[in-house]
């Protein structure tokens, strides 16, 4: 504070209760050289502003701002810095910038605070511009504060090149050992899928904070390294670090992706023990984890236990119901959320529309699609259109679905054409199928599934010449079908099975049990649906290939290894084929077990010979 301010004529000391007016006392700090202004009152105002920042009290903050002007403090750097911070914390970044732009003299803190304010509010470009301006004006070198803020902007923009430059700068200036800078660099690398670089930084950091640990756990999750994420989470537990809501939600996300229910249960226990069980982020992750691990009841239990619900929590629950073919519950919750005064957003509508698609509810789906724009001002994105294409196609309205794709306001995705092709397979529409396949072969030439689907449609129509052509095309292009894989968690360990698996230590036992099971099923009428196999081999071989689909191997392993009445939960990397679907139905009847299969699209709950999807999937 190096400017003399005018007299305190406009200063309403009376309004500041409990503060006596002490004129021009000797200041305790060099920065408080005041002429005619009570410095204790200045301190009081600054303290008030900081309290407003902590309480996110924008209205009171604005009143305080008015008082600082009345006190003639508009030229004071320290007060302005506090004002910028207050406005930033209250979410009024424009007001913060207004103060910043009018400062006659800015300190390093002014720049740092303003840059972080822009970053915090998702204005990465403004943050970067300001950072560059800072360099141009010779306010160098940037401090650790500016560096960590600007790295945060890089993370949001996936600006890996800028991050590398800043990292080099930090190394040169020995700033990388600063825990804020180190963590921010680590986070950007992880978000830019340079997980090895992120790991290297983590390993070399002299000090790690709770944020460093949670950034690394989340980094692994963002890079689909779920097992590594859980290992790091456990490492933190072992060395006695307190888990935070951040590590907990990231670890739960890993469990959800792995379909690791037992592991997820353990993380749930830690969440309760640490008092984060009702944190909205943790609770939403818990709901999602339970739903994705096949336990919709436990997901609902968590949902019910949270008193103050938000839109993400509701979306997680609605999405869970939708995936588990519980469309009625999804729709009831959709109505309830509005009664609670929470508006559905675009995520809600994706789940509600996909619930309609899973259940074949055409009219309901179309009604939701209209409602979305009309009532809630939510404009349909590519996922909403995808759902609608799926709803129409599955219901046999393949021409309507095709028309919709042709009228889209953007380019149709492979998933849309794929959905249409699959619908054509169900409803035998060869004409539209050929159009869909043509687009798919262009968009994703390496996807063998599309060739197989088209060939199946030809085979059904007994168009053998075209079947042969499709097979030749598949062979000539060297297109490989994505290897089918299934995972099952037994005794807390996730076991992976690949189609035709031969290396599992218990494979002989699994094959023997599988044969017994199939023999028993055949007595009840099961017949291998060999049309689901498109290998160019004899029928016997086809049957064997089908028999060794990964989900069948995982099921048999589960039957051998788990307690007699325990449900069997399987996760698969592709959509379940018709033969495996039928196999699971028979298996649930013979063994009396509940079998829950999560494929890339949804859940199938098999019980006593039938499936929750009602054979519509």
Partner DNA sequence: GTAGGGTTAG
Binding-residue pattern over the window 292 to 311 for DNA, x denoting contact by CB under 7 A: -------------------x
Q: Does 78 bind DNA (CB under 7 A)?
A: yes
Q: Does 447 bind DNA (CB under 7 A)?
A: no
Q: Does 148 bind DNA (CB under 7 A)?
A: yes
Cβ proximity to DNA, 319 vs 556, nearer residue: 319
Binding-residue pattern over the window 508 to 527 for DNA, x denoting contact by CB under 7 A: --------------------
Min dist CB 585 to DNA, Å, is 23
Cβ proximity to DNA, 107 vs 591, nearer residue: 107
Helix (H) or strand (E) holding 1: none
Q: Does 323 bind DNA (CB under 7 A)?
A: yes
Site for DNA in 565-604 (CB under 7 A): 600-601
Q: How far apart are CA 402 and CA 528, in angstroms?
A: 33
Min dist CB 301 to DNA, Å, is 17
- Helix, coil or strand: residue 17: coil
Q: Does 556 bind DNA (CB under 7 A)?
A: no
Q: How far apart are CA 59 and CA 62, in angstroms?
A: 5
Give the CA distances from residue 164 to residues 29, 167, 174, 198, in Å, rounded to whole numbers and listed in that order: 41, 5, 15, 12
Cβ proximity to DNA, 108 vs 590, nearer residue: 108
Q: Does 209 bind DNA (CB under 7 A)?
A: yes
Under the phi-then-psi rule, with left for phi > 0, alpha for psi from -120 to 50, and beta for the rest, what region is 535? beta
Cβ proximity to DNA, 187 vs 551, nearer residue: 187
Min dist CB 293 to DNA, Å, is 13
Site for DNA in 257-276 (CB under 7 A): 276
Q: Does 211 bind DNA (CB under 7 A)?
A: yes
493 phi and psi, to 5 degrees?
A: -120, 135
Q: Alpha helices, DSSP H only, in 504-605?
A: 507-523, 539-547, 550-561, 578-591
| Among residues 8, 266, 351, 450, the one that binds DNA under rule CB under 7 A | 351
| 568-572 and 595-598 strand pairing | parallel
Min dist CB 479 to DNA, Å, is 18
Q: How far apart are CA 535 and CA 413, in angstroms?
A: 28
Min dist CB 71 to DNA, Å, is 17
Beta-carbon contacts of residue 153 (< 8 Å; ≥ 6 apart): 115, 118, 119, 124, 127, 128, 131, 159
Cβ proximity to DNA, 176 vs 553, nearer residue: 176
Q: Alpha helices, DSSP H only, in 25-57?
A: 39-55
Q: Does 319 bind DNA (CB under 7 A)?
A: yes
Min dist CB 255 to DNA, Å, is 11
Cβ proximity to DNA, 211 vs 448, nearer residue: 211
End-to-end CA distance of the chain: 70
Q: Does 199 bind DNA (CB under 7 A)?
A: no
Cβ proximity to DNA, 237 vs 607, nearer residue: 237
Q: Does 313 bind DNA (CB under 7 A)?
A: yes
Q: Does 77 bind DNA (CB under 7 A)?
A: yes
Site for DNA in 455-494 (CB under 7 A): none
Choices 224-232, 341-349, 509-517, 519-527; region in contact with DNA by CB under 7 A: 341-349
Q: Does 322 bind DNA (CB under 7 A)?
A: yes
Min dist CB 418 to DNA, Å, is 5
Report DSSP letters for 359-408, one per residue.
HT-HHHHHHHHHHHHHHH-PPP-HHHHHHHHHHHHHTT-HHHHHHHHHT-
Cβ proximity to DNA, 285 vs 429, nearer residue: 285
Q: Does 450 bind DNA (CB under 7 A)?
A: no
| Total interface residues for DNA by CB under 7 A | 88
Cβ proximity to DNA, 345 vs 562, nearer residue: 345
Min dist CB 516 to DNA, Å, is 36
Cβ proximity to DNA, 82 vs 528, nearer residue: 82
Structure tokens at 484: 């089918």
Q: How far apart are CA 464 and CA 101, in angstroms?
A: 75
Q: Does 119 bind DNA (CB under 7 A)?
A: yes
Q: Which residue has the tokens 């494929």?
A: 599
Q: Does 378 bind DNA (CB under 7 A)?
A: no
| Among residues 281, 444, 448, 578, the one that binds DNA under rule CB under 7 A | 281
| Among residues 357, 455, 550, 582, the one that binds DNA under rule CB under 7 A | 357
Q: How far apart are CA 317 and CA 324, in angstroms?
A: 11
CB 554, CB 487: distance < 8 Å: yes
Cβ proximity to DNA, 265 vs 278, nearer residue: 278
| Among residues 415, 456, 591, 607, the one that binds DNA under rule CB under 7 A | 415
Q: Does 74 bind DNA (CB under 7 A)?
A: no
- Helix, coil or strand: residue 309: coil
Give the CA distances from residue 197 to residues 40, 147, 429, in Å, rounded to whole numbers and listed in that order: 50, 18, 50
Q: Does 140 bind DNA (CB under 7 A)?
A: no
479 phi and psi, to 5 degrees?
A: -75, 130
| Among residues 215, 223, 266, 398, the one that binds DNA under rule CB under 7 A | 215
Which residue from 165, 153, 226, 228 is spatially nearest to 191, judged by alpha carbons? 153
Q: How far apart are CA 306 and CA 278, in angstroms?
A: 6
Q: Does 383 bind DNA (CB under 7 A)?
A: yes
* Cis-peptide into 250, omega within 30 deg: no
Cβ proximity to DNA, 145 vs 441, nearer residue: 145
Structure tokens at 245: 């809501």
Min dist CB 587 to DNA, Å, is 26
Torsion of CA 234, 238, 240, 245, to 10 degrees: 10
| Among residues 346, 466, 531, 544, the one that binds DNA under rule CB under 7 A | 346
Q: How far apart are CA 34 and CA 8, in angstroms?
A: 10
Q: Does 401 bind DNA (CB under 7 A)?
A: no
Cβ proximity to DNA, 230 vs 250, nearer residue: 250
Q: Does 244 bind DNA (CB under 7 A)?
A: yes
Beta-carbon contacts of residue 488 (< 8 Å; ≥ 6 apart): 494, 495, 497, 554, 555, 557, 558, 568, 569, 570, 571
Min dist CB 256 to DNA, Å, is 6
Cβ proximity to DNA, 290 vs 557, nearer residue: 290
Cβ proximity to DNA, 355 vs 488, nearer residue: 355
Number of neighbours of residue 614 by Cβ within 10 angstroms: 11
């Amino acid at each position: 504070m190096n400017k003399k301010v005018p007299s305190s004529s406009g200063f309403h000391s009376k309004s500041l209760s409990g503060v006596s007016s002490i004129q021009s006392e000797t200041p305790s700090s060099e920065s408080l050289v005041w002429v005619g202004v009570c410095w204790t009152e200045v301190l009081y105002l600054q303290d008030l502003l900081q309290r407003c920042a902590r309480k996110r009290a924008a209205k009171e903050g604005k009143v305080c701002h008015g008082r600082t002007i009345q006190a003639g403090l508009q030229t004071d750097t320290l007060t302005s810095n506090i004002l910028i911070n207050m406005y930033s914390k209250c979410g009024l970044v424009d007001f913060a910038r207004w103060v910043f732009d009018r400062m006659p003299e800015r300190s390093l803190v002014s720049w740092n605070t303003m840059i972080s304010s822009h970053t915090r509010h998702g204005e990465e470009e403004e943050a970067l511009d300001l950072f560059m301006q800072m360099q141009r004006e010779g306010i160098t070198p940037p401090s650790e504060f500016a560096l960590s803020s600007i790295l945060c902007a890089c993370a949001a923009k996936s600006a890996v090149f800028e991050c590398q430059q800043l990292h080099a700068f930090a190394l040169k200036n020995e700033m990388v050992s600063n825990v804020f800078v180190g963590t921010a660099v680590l986070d950007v690398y992880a978000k830019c899928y340079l997980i090895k670089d992120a790991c290297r930084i983590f390993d070399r950091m002299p000090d790690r904070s709770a944020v460093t640990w949670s950034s690394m756990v989340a980094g692994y999750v963002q890079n689909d390294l779920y097992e590594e994420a859980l290992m790091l989470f456990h490492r933190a537990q072992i060395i006695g670090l307190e888990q935070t809501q951040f590590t907990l939600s990231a670890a739960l996300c890993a469990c959800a992706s792995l379909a690791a229910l037992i592991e997820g249960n353990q993380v749930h226990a830690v969440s309760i023990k640490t008092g984060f069980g009702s944190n909205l982020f943790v609770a939403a992750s818990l709901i999602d984890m339970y739903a994705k691990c096949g336990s919709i009841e436990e997901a609902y239990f968590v949902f019910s236990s949270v008193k103050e619900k938000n839109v993400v929590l509701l979306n997680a629950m609605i999405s869970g119901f939708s995936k588990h073919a519980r469309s009625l519950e999804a729709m009831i919750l959709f109505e309830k959320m509005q009664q609670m005064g929470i508006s559905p957003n675009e995520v809600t509508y994706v789940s509600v529309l996909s619930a309609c698609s899973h259940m074949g509810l055409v009219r309901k789906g179309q009604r939701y699609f209209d409602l979305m724009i009309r009532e809630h001002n939510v404009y349909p994105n590519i996922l909403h259109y995808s759902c609608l294409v799926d709803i129409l196609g599955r219901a046999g309205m393949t021409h309507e679905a095709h028309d919709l794709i042709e009228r889209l306001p953007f380019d149709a995705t492979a998933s849309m054409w794929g959905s249409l092709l699959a619908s054509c397979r169900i409803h035998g529409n060869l004409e539209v199928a050929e159009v869909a396949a043509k687009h798919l072969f262009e968009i994703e030439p390496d996807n063998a599934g599309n060739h197989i689907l088209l060939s199946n449609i030809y085979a059904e129509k007994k168009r053998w010449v075209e079947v042969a052509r499709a097979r030749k095309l598949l062979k000539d292009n060297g297109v490989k079908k994505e290897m089918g894989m299934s995972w099952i968690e037994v005794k807390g360990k996730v076991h992976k099975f690949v189609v035709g698996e031969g290396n599992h230590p218990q494979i002989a036992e699994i094959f023997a049990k599988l044969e017994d099971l199939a023999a028993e099923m055949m007595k009840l009428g099961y017949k291998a649906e060999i049309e689901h196999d498109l290998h160019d081999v004899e029928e016997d071989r086809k049957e064997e290939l089908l028999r060794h689909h990964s989900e069948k191997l995982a099921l048999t392993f589960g039957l051998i290894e788990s307690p007699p009445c325990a449900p069997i939960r399987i996760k698969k990397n592709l959509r379940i084929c018709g033969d495996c679907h039928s196999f699971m139905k028979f298996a649930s009847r013979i063994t009396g077990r509940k079998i829950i299969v999560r494929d890339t699209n949804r859940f199938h709950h098999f019980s006593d010979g039938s499936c929750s999807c009602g054979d519509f999937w």
